[in-house]
Structure 1
């Protein structure tokens, strides 16, 4: 009797989720969603567990959210996995974080391939351990021909460093005569950033209740819709992603202008 009731409840829940997804799909979907995955350490502390337990649980959340984003037809999902500032954390924690990409990609890669997901990265990969780079490169190679959701990991990424490097390369090209100062505008500058092949995020989600950007995609987020949640990342679910997208769909994106009826 219990098993039958549980099966009925699961089926009913699935039907309800399918209906919700259908309603979401009836409205514009953000092409590019970026997420600052925050709260792993606090999740573990609340349960008197080591911080690495929170990171391990957070890895499971990445799998769930990737699948949910794919269901919605989101084209790009960028996840802030490791910042240039994260090197300041205790060595044991950093060492574990460096193992996570390998663990995640080795276990999840067959599903990513099956779901037509393409793995991408941005950040200074040269500073990462060889084993981490090898796992990431392998996943990128195996999924390079996929043309579905782009799962873009920000690894050893910092926006200020990205902008400074872009300025240096731009200045070098001006000096070499490859471009002129008159050529420099927003579009030109964007081609020198790590996201040059991606459109800017439409929606940024940050978990854990913190309300700041933490040196993440500062140039690219100029007109992005921001959504902050009190949920810790390991507790973030498909439903939370749906909630964020539904909030996005209710907003009017003006890009510094006025609504149509206000323009004279």
Structure 2
């Protein structure tokens, strides 16, 4: 989800206005994900969705922007806990990423609350990446293996990624707005992932864009890297 700040500059507004618009787009994506799930080809089957909301590099943003984002995320996550679609479709919400100690207590408490409220759900699975970095995830996996005295092998590293630890399969499709790079998103679990780039800023994403991404993926010959 990229382009919030550029969107704000384009309309002559403060960067937090762009982030607020981006948060609204993320809420719409949740609706589109659920709305079109029954009509999606079996090959796409988007039962799992991960949104990268805040990267480990974002901690270096100016303090006023960072604090504004923390407050906004706390409000949005709290709202998520009481969203009817989440409970109707039994969406389990989990947060992934490192450096949690760098987040304010209010945000951490909200994240814990959402995870606890949806812990028993098993209909759909939503992951929200906050404080996440792709290299950081791989380093964390290796450190965990070392601490356990296990060999550093591909299989063992693959069992320690965020996806593996939560029973989430490797990524099938990456949808990226405004840029044509993955920025280290799930470095380990995207080896065979398909890519879909949208030449729009994240706040400009539309329902048609979402449908086009799913349609594009469902018509591809998926070889899984073979």
- The TM-score, its normalising length taken from structure 2, stands at 0.89
Aligned residue runs from structure 1 range 211-222, under 5 A: 211-222=180-191
Residue 46 of structure 1: how far off its partner (Å)? 0.7
Q: Which residue of 1 aligns with 2:169?
A: 199
Distance, in Å, in 2 between the alignment partners of 1:203 and 1:169 is: 27
Matched, 1:142 2:117: yes
Q: Which residue of 1 aligns with 2:139?
A: 164
Q: Is the 8 A contact 1:101 1:136 kept in 2?
A: no
Matched, 1:239 2:208: yes
Q: Which residue of 1 aligns with 2:50?
A: 78
In structure 1, the residue corresponding to 2:162 is in which secondary structure? coil
In structure 1, the residue corresponding to 2:8 is in which secondary structure? helix
Aligned residue runs from structure 1 range 95-174, under 5 A: 95-111=67-83, 112-124=86-98, 125-174=100-149
For residues 1-26 of structure 1, give each alpha carbon's deviation from its aligned partner in whole angstroms, at most 9, with x where no partner exists. Answer: xxxxxxxxxxxxxxxxxxxxxxxxxx
The RMSD of aligned alpha carbons is 1.5
Q: Is the 8 A contact 1:121 1:152 kept in 2?
A: yes
Residue 62 of structure 1: how far off its partner (Å)? 1.0
Residue 185 of structure 1: how far off its partner (Å)? 4.4
5+ unaligned residues in a row in structure 2: which ranges?
38-45
Distance, in Å, in 1 between the alignment partners of 2:62 and 2:169 is: 35
- The TM-score, its normalising length taken from structure 1, stands at 0.76
Distance, in Å, in 2 between the alignment partners of 1:117 and 1:169 is: 29
Pair member with larger Rg = 1
